[in-house]
Amino acid sequence: MDIRDCPGPDPHPRKPAMAMPAGACDTHFHVFDAARYPYQATRGYTPPDNGIDVALALHDTLGLSRGVAIQASVHGTDNRAVLDAAAAHPDRLRAIVAVSEGVTEAEIAAMHAQGARGIRVNLVDRGGMPFRSLDALADVAEVLRPFGWHVELLVHVEEMAAELRKIAETMRLPLSVGHIGYTKVAKGGLAHPGYREFLAMLRDGLLWVKLTGLYRISAEPAFPYADTAAMARAVIEAAPDRILWGSDWPHVSHFHGLMPNDGDVLGLLAQWVPEEAARTMILRDNPAKLYGF
């Protein structure tokens, strides 16, 4: 297996060109500290160390007082990195973990006490992630439901729109989708029939969506990834009360193009959402509801 070393993030984040509301949240960042939290042999990349102290310093610079540490595929189902971070900062952080299909209620209860509020199912960049398909979520949903958890999906929505609608309508758990649906502009973006069905699911109240990873879907090599703006505005219009913003820091597996500055990326939200009240909903109110701040 070819395991590539990732470049690091821009070490000099700028303050965004807008004021942040109190309680603003980064709903998607990762924690890497190889000495404390070793990586899976089956991983797809090797990140440089960027531990929780570095992440919190970034948030301080950006004016963010809350965050959600997302389990990275390199850790498989060893959730110590995100759970330790959330447990150490209970007023500031929550965690999204990865579990096996046989996870028990006792295991979920223990992680809930440490600040976890959902599971991540990665069907794209699997690394050590164990889920076989969306259908495998049905039994796990029964274990998660009593705790008020949700499921975060990393999928290309245009490739499985029908399957996604089926699981969203039957699982009776909130579902969030990363990277604005993870449909690349080069594959059609807004024009793709599967993406149009994804927007319909948002309008039907079936999904939450994260404004993350613009460089992962853009055909442009550098900020501001202008070809993604129409997709961002489309999901915001479709479901303003279920939109979340996340940095995707420290931008692992970003091998093509320039590394973005996190403050500049956050500043794009002011262009997409000029109204301060609507931005406050995205940055504070929506994540507070989904993650239980």
Q: Reply yes or no on whether the pLDDT at 127 is more than 60.
A: no
* Model confidence pLDDT, tens digit, residues 134-158: 677 888 899 999 999 999 998 999 9
Using one digit for the tens of pLDDT, what is the confidence trace for 39-68?
988 888 999 999 999 999 999 999 999 999
CA distance 256 to 261: 15
* CA separation for the pair 201, 239 (Å, rounded): 9
Over residues 174-194, the pLDDT tens digits come to 999 999 999 999 999 999 999
Considering only 93-102, 112-121, 125-134, 246-255, which range has the smallest mean pLDDT? Answer: 125-134
Which is nearest to 69 in space by CA: 39, 90, 48? 90
pLDDT tens, position by position, 259-268: 999 999 999 9
pLDDT at 73 over 50: yes
Q: pLDDT above 90 covers what percent of the chain?
A: 84
Contact 201, 168 (CB under 8 A): yes
Cβ count near 164 (within 10 Å):
24
Q: What is the mean pLDDT of the segment spanning 189-217?
A: 97
Q: How many CB atoms are located within 10 Å of the residue 177 CB?
A: 26
| Cα pseudo-dihedral 127, 129, 131, 133, rounded to 10 | -30
Q: Which residues are catalytic?
A: 248
In which residue are the tokens 């219009």 written?
A: 237
Confidence of residue 128 (pLDDT cuts 50, 70, 90): very low
Give, to the nearest 10 degrees, the angle between helix 262-272 and helix 229-238: 60
Q: Global pTM?
A: 0.95
Residue 193, helix vs strand vs coil = helix
Average pLDDT over residues 160-167: 90
Which residues partner with 94 through β-bridges?
Answer: 68
- Calculate mean pLDDT across residues 150-168: 92
96-115 exposure pattern, b = at least 16 Cβ within 10 A, e = fewer: bbbbeeebeeeebeebbebb
